Amino acid sequence: MALPRAARTQRRTRIQEAKEEQILEAALEVFSLHGFRGATVDQIAEVAGMSKPNLLYYFRTKETMHRALITRVLDTWLDPLREFDAEGNPVSEIRSYIRRKLEMARDFPRESRLFANEILQGAPNIEDELKGPLKSLVDEKAEVIRSWAKAGKIAKCDPYHLIFSIWSTTQHYADFDVQVRAVLGQGQSGEGRFEDAARFLEQLFLGGLNVSEQPSEA
């Protein structure tokens, strides 16, 4: 038996790279729909178009696969927040952030659901990453928002809860898609859904944070 991917030192074969990609794509599909415990290796293997032992040759356990998927997705998932620019115009920065998050909910709903499943079930595998890299990034951007409020550029508000509310409102359209569609009915379940949401959320957040509404010294 050859050494599987876990034992590789430097170079990765073309075939390794392709297969691992193929597997993680299938794993995303299945994990995001059923959660960790609800997903089966057989199912992932079938979606990936390979036999179960072949899959387990690249990822020795179900958990290895899940962890690899989570860490990769978490990284790209935080990109919109990283782009948050302290030097930019507060109003347009917040507006862009909302828009980008909403686009991600529209274009990458599986990634959003993968996280939602993980967090919902107590985040047994990624608690460290939440308390580490995620918290650091949020702390940094919260400080930016606080400075904007202090300078009177936006209304004073708790920056952490502002970020939470942007996360929750935007990701809602990915995670609770079934409910949103059910409530809106067939008429508005099509494409216009996200445009309406974007318009509403812009009004909500820019209205709620507008400094004309709330003088910097209340």
Partner DNA sequence: TGTAATGTTTACCAACCGGTCAAATTATCA
Partner DNA sequence: TGATAATTTGACCGGTTGGTAAACATTACA
Q: Contact residues for its own copies (CB under 8 A)?
A: 33-38, 113, 116-117, 119-123, 127, 130-131, 134-135, 138, 155, 157-158, 160-162, 164-165, 167-169, 171-173, 175-176, 178-180, 182-185, 188, 196-197, 199-201, 203-210, 212-214
What is the secondary structure of 140-209 as a DSSP string? HHHHHHHHHHHTTSS----HHHHHHHHHHHHHHHHHTHHHHHHHHHHHHSSSHHHHHHHHHHHHHHHHHH
Nearest distance from residue 17's CB to DNA, in Å?
9
Cα 120 to chain centroid, rounded:
14
Tokens of 123: 């985040």
Q: Which does 99 bind (CB under 5 to 8 A by kind): its own copies, DNA, none?
A: none
CB proximity list for 196: less than 8 A, separation 6 or greater: 188
CA angle 148, 152, 156 (to 5 degrees): 75
Residue 208 interface partner, choices DNA, its own copies, none, CB cut-off 5-8 Å depending on type: its own copies
Residue 2 or 218: the one with the smaller Cβ distance to DNA is: 2
Stretch 20-79 residues interacting with DNA (CB under 7 A) = 39-43, 50-54, 56-57, 60-63
Residues that bind DNA (CB under 7 A): 1-5, 13-16, 19, 39-43, 50-54, 56-57, 60-63
